[in-house]
Amino acid sequence: MNSSPSPSNPPSNPPSPPSCAFAFLGIRWSKVPRVLILHGIVAGLMAALCIRLFCLQVYARQTFISKALRQQMSEEGIRSRPGDLFDRQGRLLATTISVPSLYVNPAAIPESDRPHLAIQLGAVLNQSSEALLKKFEEHAHRQFLWVRRRLTDEEAAAVRELKLSTRQAGLRREFQRVYPQGTLAAHVLGLRNIDGLGRGGVEEHFDSILRGQDGIRRFVRDARGYVLDVLEEVTQPPVDGHSLTLTIDLVVQMQLERQLDAAMENHHAKGACGIAIDPQTGEILALASRPTFDPNRPERARPEDWKNLATAAAFEPGSTFKPMVVAWGLERNLIQRDDQFDCEQGTYRMGSRVLHDHHPYGVLSLTDVLVKSSNIGMAKIGERLTNRELNELARSFGFGTRTGIELPGELSGFLRPLKEWTSYSTGSIPMGHEFTATPIQILAAYAILANGGERIAPHLLLRKTADSMSASPLDQLGRSCGREERLSLNETLSFHEPGRHRHDETALVKSRILEKETADWVVSTPLVEVVRRGTGRQANLPGLAVFGKTGTAQKLHESGSGYSSSRHYSSFIGGGTAENPRLVVLISVDEPQGTDQFGGSVAAPYVAEVLKQHLDTRQTQSLPEKPAR
Amino acid sequence: MIVISLPPAAKLSCGVMFFRFSAAIGLMTAISLAAVAIEKQNLSLRRAISLQHYQLEVLQEQKCRQVLETQRLSSPVRLLDQVQKETTVDVPSRSTQSR
């Protein structure tokens, strides 16, 4: 039986056209199990999913981890509290308090609410609401915007009264530097700017020590930005800055600044500066410059107020350099104490150059050359020394190099190399011309004479105190309560016993420049005579052996060509007492007005006043010891 | 109604199982309660520490402000100005007496 259909008998049920996807392959639908297809699709999907997961979990792992952390975690810096500054007696010079600052989140403030918020804040802060609104609209996309930093307590209370949404505005506490002594020692201290960075003075020089190290606090936030948890275990606590005790004595500083103000007022000067140093230790007891500024209100300062003339102004020292030349000549046996110098009645031809004295003098002793401040006498000493010795003496006394005082912007002065010196220099250098020096360099050179011939770097740091946050709160309280007493006790001792309580960081480095005998003779004979009967008579204090030297340097013309006959830099450097010098004071007055512009008239009386007050204080301090003896 | 009567051994085993089950539940509950208590204690201690830190900051701030005020009041400029003013006031009376 043949079951196959014959061509003549077409099949009754012709095959339906294939309707499945595999028809084009010639595979019949009935031959592909549906389950298998389904399995294939699922397996394919699973494979795709696995590949995608692999990509996400392995290749893009770090990207997504960091994205997730960014969304969930947020960091906030914790500012460290800067250390305090004290004077040598433990009086507070600079401290830090915490004050609130107002910020807003403009992105979270609906556009319709902005005018209302601006009006509210404007009324509370006494600020233009239009300006505030403009500020909000300009920064509408930002999530943080300072409205006003460092509010007063009253302003902060008024802002709190508004009960603003914490999403839209808030108060954040910031540190503010406060200088309780006002303008006193402003150029020594400098200030901290609104971001807490030291600018000028010791604030800048010791910024890394004073500032401490900021900490970090990490939060976990939800999708809306609310804090869920503070991660204590990964928070880095801030390390507060160290406090510093300076060598400054606030009472001497105040006396010096009052004298500078008086000099400025009486002589209508352009500027002035003053420095007081303990020559035995190199400790700066006072340093001031005029014009000055109030570090509590830096926005009121004029550009010229920032300049510290004591370290950042170089001028020709003039006659103040003469004692160093005499001391060096004696040290090298090129001149003798009993030498006589013919001052040629005020006119002396030195090569192609004619030198003049202010007054005509005949033959003067070595002492009188300094007492009368004779330029011709000094030129003759210069001829004996020669350029090589003059150059060596200038460098040995520290001219041409910075003293290293802990103040930014100190100038090194200008001292040309020896090969550039000419025969002109032999006459000019002994008179204090042809090179420039800063007041601190000149004072440091006088400290060498006053302490018996040893060169000591002038410095401002007395000691660094312990980190205030390293101890427990009780220890801190105990330490801070005891500190005042300990400091004053130490300081009384260190005042009389130099260097006894000196911290390692400020260990003294001394180098001998002159023999003690030579230095002592220069101080106790010519420099004392200068004050008794010479150009520095106005600094004479009855009963006290004060020594000193005047200096009146002509300033260059503003055009830079030649010296001006009307613009002077008048100085006086004085110290006391000649037997045991414990204080040397320099006052320089820039462009004093009036007929008499000599250092002996413009600066000497003010130096004498500082010396008188300080030496009186020292005598009063030592009074209780006398009965015991 | 079909009554299934278990043999005494099976009854005992069921009781033991029930006891074990209850004990396990009870133990888990106790552990959970203890964990909750410890967590609460932990949280309250953290709150206390946080509060102490805050109080310390407040005290430090107060101390700073008081030291600042003390130093302002006792600054040499202020004291000497006052002394000088008093001296200036006293001088005429003294000179009058001396005359």
pLDDT in tens, B1-35: 666 676 777 777 888 889 999 999 999 999 999 99
The answer to whether A179 and A193 are in contact (CB under 8 A) is no
The residue of B49, B55, B56, B61 whose CB has the most chain A CBs within 10 angstroms, and thus the best one to mutate to test that interface, is: B61
Considering only CB atoms, A473 lies closest to which of B56, B71, B72, namely: B56
Q: What is the mean pLDDT of residues A342-365?
A: 87
Q: How far is A82 from chain B (nearest CA, A)?
A: 12
B15: left (phi over 0), alpha (psi -120 to 50) or beta: alpha
Q: What is the mean pLDDT of residues A476-485?
A: 36
By C-alpha distance, which of A589, A547, A611 is closest to A289? A589
Instruction: For residues A396 and A487, give the distance between their C-alpha atoms in angstroms, rounded to a whole number.
Output: 36
Phi, psi of B93 (to 5 degrees): -65, -40
Show the tokens assigned to A139: 């920064």
Instruction: For residues A212 and A214, give the distance between their C-alpha atoms in angstroms, rounded to a whole number.
Output: 7
By C-alpha distance, which of A83, A76, A79, A78 is closest to A208? A83
ipTM for this prediction: 0.71
- With CB atoms and an 8 Å threshold, state whether A184 touches B77: yes
In the A/B pair of chains, how many CB contacts fall below 8 A?
A: 45
CB of A178 within 8 Å of a chain B CB? The answer is: yes
Q: To the nearest 5 percent, what fractions of chain A are helix, strand and coil?
A: 45, 20, 35
Q: What is the mean pLDDT of residues A206-223?
A: 88
pLDDT above 90 (res A153): no
Which of the pair, A507 or A494, is modelled with greater confidence?
Answer: A507
Nearest chain A residue to B68, by CA: A180
A224: left (phi over 0), alpha (psi -120 to 50) or beta: alpha
Sequence letter at residue A118: A
Percent of chain A residues past pLDDT 90, beyond the cut: 55
Q: How big is chain B, counted in residues? A: 99
Instruction: For residues A491 and A254, give the distance between their C-alpha atoms in angstroms, rounded to a whole number.
Output: 18
Residues of A in contact with B68 (CB under 8 A): 92, 95, 97, 178, 180
- With CB atoms and an 8 Å threshold, state whether A97 touches B76: no
Nearest chain A residue to B67, by CA: A92
pLDDT above 70 (res A244): yes
By C-alpha distance, which of A310, A370, A190 is closest to A585? A310
Residue B62 banded pLDDT, cuts 50, 70, 90: very high
Instruction: For residues A434 and A428, give the distance between their C-alpha atoms in angstroms, rounded to a whole number.
Output: 6
By C-alpha distance, which of A246, A461, A428 is closest to A355? A428
- With CB atoms and an 8 Å threshold, state whether A180 touches B71: yes
Q: How far is B73 from chain A (nearest CA, A)?
A: 9
Host H or E run for residue A102: strand A92-104
pLDDT tens figures, A47-79:
999 999 999 989 999 998 888 888 888 888 888
Phi, psi of A501 (to 5 degrees): -105, 25
Instruction: For residues A488 and A87, give the distance between their C-alpha atoms in angstroms, rounded to a whole number.
Output: 10
DSSP letters, A134-155, are: HHHHHTTT-S-EEEESS--HHH
Q: For chain B, what is the total number of helices (H) and then of strands (E)?
A: 2, 0
Residues of A in contact with B63 (CB under 8 A): 477, 480
- With CB atoms and an 8 Å threshold, state whether A250 touches B76: yes
The answer to whether B72 and A180 are in contact (CB under 8 A) is yes
Residues of A in contact with B71 (CB under 8 A): 91-92, 95, 180-181
CB of B56 within 8 Å of a chain A CB? The answer is: yes
Residue A25 banded pLDDT, cuts 50, 70, 90: low
By C-alpha distance, which of A83, A475, A158, A99 is closest to B65? A99
Q: What is the pLDDT of residue B68?
A: 92
Instruction: For residues B96 and B99, give the distance between their C-alpha atoms in angstroms, rounded to a whole number.
Output: 5
Percent of chain A residues past pLDDT 70, beyond the cut: 85
Phi, psi of A592 (to 5 degrees): -70, 150
The answer to whether A589 and A597 are in contact (CB under 8 A) is no
Q: In this predicted structure, which of A368-377, A488-497, A536-545, B41-50 has the lowest mean pLDDT?
A: A488-497
Most confident of A238-242, A443-447, A540-544, B86-90: A443-447
Hey, how many other C-beta atoms are within 10 angstroms of the C-beta on A471?
14
- With CB atoms and an 8 Å threshold, state whether B63 touches A480: yes
Q: How far is A254 from chain B (nearest CA, A)?
A: 7
Most confident of A19-23, A103-107, A237-241, B32-36: B32-36
Contacts of A222 (CB under 8 A, 6+ apart): A228
Tell me the H-state helices in A34-113. Answer: 34-54, 61-72
Residues of A in contact with B59 (CB under 8 A): 473
Instruction: For residues A299 and A303, give the distance between their C-alpha atoms in angstroms, rounded to a whole number.
Output: 10
pLDDT tens figures, A482-501:
333 333 333 333 333 333 34
Most confident of A73-82, A443-452, A552-561, A620-629: A443-452
pLDDT above 90 (res A399): yes
pLDDT tens figures, A418-461:
999 998 899 999 999 999 999 999 999 999 999 999 999 999 99
- With CB atoms and an 8 Å threshold, state whether B80 touches A254: yes
The answer to whether B63 and B57 are in contact (CB under 8 A) is no
Q: What is the pLDDT of residue B6?
A: 66
pLDDT above 80 (res A201): yes
Residues of B in contact with A181 (CB under 8 A): 71, 75, 77
Query: Which residue's structure tokens are 């500032």?
Result: A211
CB of B53 within 8 Å of a chain A CB? The answer is: no
- State the pairing for strand pair A242-246/A461-467: antiparallel
Q: What is the mean pLDDT of residues A508-518?
A: 85
DSSP letters, A594-611, are: SS---HHHHTHHHHHHHH
Is the bond preceding residue A291 a cis peptide, omega within 30 degrees?
Answer: yes
Residue A23 banded pLDDT, cuts 50, 70, 90: low
- With CB atoms and an 8 Å threshold, state whether A254 touches B46: no
Tell me the H-state helices in A75-128. Answer: 114-125
Nearest chain B residue to A93, by CA: B71
DSSP letters, A247-310, are: S--HHHHHHHHHHHHHHHHHHT-SEEEEEEEETTTTEEEEEEEES---TT-GGG--GGGG--HH
CB of A168 within 8 Å of a chain B CB? The answer is: no
Q: What is the mean pLDDT of residues A230-241?
A: 82
pLDDT tens figures, A270-287:
999 999 999 999 999 999
In A357-428 the beta strands, taken as DSSP E runs, fall at 363-365
- With CB atoms and an 8 Å threshold, state whether A473 touches B76: no
Q: In this predicted structure, which of A323-327, A334-338, A347-351, A557-561 has the lowest mean pLDDT?
A: A557-561
The answer to whether A147 and A132 are in contact (CB under 8 A) is yes
Q: What is the pLDDT of residue A24?
A: 57
Q: How far is B6 from chain A (nearest CA, A)?
A: 49
- With CB atoms and an 8 Å threshold, state whether A95 touches B68: yes
CB of B73 within 8 Å of a chain A CB? The answer is: no
The residue of A86, A95, A153 whose CB has the most chain B CBs within 10 angstroms, and thus the best one to mutate to test that interface, is: A95
Residue A3 banded pLDDT, cuts 50, 70, 90: very low
Mean residue pLDDT across chain A: 84
Q: What is the pLDDT of residue A389?
A: 93
Q: How far is B43 from chain A (nearest CA, A)?
A: 11
The residue of A78, A80, A92 whose CB has the most chain B CBs within 10 angstroms, and thus the best one to mutate to test that interface, is: A92
Q: What is the pLDDT of residue B91?
A: 43
By C-alpha distance, which of A571, A569, A574, A570 is closest to A527? A574
CB of A469 within 8 Å of a chain B CB? The answer is: no
- With CB atoms and an 8 Å threshold, state whether B75 touches A95: no
pLDDT above 80 (res A396): yes
Is the bond preceding residue A577 a cis peptide, omega within 30 degrees?
Answer: yes
Residues of B in contact with A251 (CB under 8 A): 76
Sequence letter at residue B96: T
